[in-house]
Structure 1
C-alpha cells in the first residue's frame, strides 16, 4: 500500500497510538473502520488495539487496517514486532512466527526463501 500522507509514527509511539492518530487523520469513527474492513475488525477490537490493551494484533488485522488507511503494511508489521530490522540500511528480517511457522520449514529452507525474496525485491528496484 502506498502512503496517503499519514502522520509519521512519533519516536517511541505505540502501534495503538499510531493507528488512532491515522484513523483520526482520516476522519473515521471506530464503527466506520469496522464497516470498511467488512467487519473483519470490530470497533471494540480496534478500540482495544488503539488503547494498548492489544499490542500485537494478527498480521491479517494489520493488513486490513493498512488497506483501509492506505498505509504501509510493512511498517505496521514492524511496529507490532513481527518484522525486525534497520530500515535505514534496508535490512529487514522476519520473525519466524509471522512468516514460516505453519510451513514447517527447515532452517536451510527458510534461509533460501528469504534469499529468494531479497532477490525478487531487488528486481523491482
Structure 2
C-alpha cells in the first residue's frame, strides 16, 4: 500500500483513541505514531506493527501486508476465509473502501456516546 498512513489513523480513530493513548498502550512514541500516520515513516518495524495490531485488534499479518512486508499467501487467504471478517461478509474491498468503512465506524461510535 502506497500511503498507509491514513489507514493507521482511521484504525486509531475508529477505536476512539488519541495518539497519547496508543503511546501508553504500546510504548511507541507519540511522535513516531504521528509520523506513521502522516506517511513519513516508510517502513515501520515488525515489532511496532505487532504492538499496533494488538492495540487496534487487527491481524498482525494484515498490518504487515499493508506496509509492504511479504506475507505468506496462506495467511492472507486465511483472513478472508474467516467467517468473522468483513471480506467474508461483503466480499473483497479496496484499501480506500476499508479506510472509509473505518471512518464511518468512528462516526457511528461517536453518535452512541
TM-score (norm 2): 0.60
1:1-125 paired onto structure 2 within 5 Å: 14-37=3-26, 39=27, 41-84=28-71, 90=77
Q: How many residues align?
A: 77
Partner Cα separation in structure 1 for residue 21 and residue 59 of structure 2: 20
The higher-RCO structure (CA 8 Å, 6+ apart) is 2
Structure 1 unaligned segments of length 5 or more: list them. Answer: 1-11, 92-125
CA RMSD of aligned residues (A): 2.2
Give structure 2 stretches of 5+ with no counterpart: 79-113
* Cα contact 1:62–1:73 (8 A) shared by 2: yes
More helix by share: 2
Q: Which has the larger radius of gyration?
A: 1
Between structures 1 and 2, the one with greater strand share: 1
Q: Could you give the per-residue CA deviations for residues 42-92 of structure 1, whole angstroms, max 9, x where no partner exists?
A: 0100000000000210000000000001111101001111125668x839x
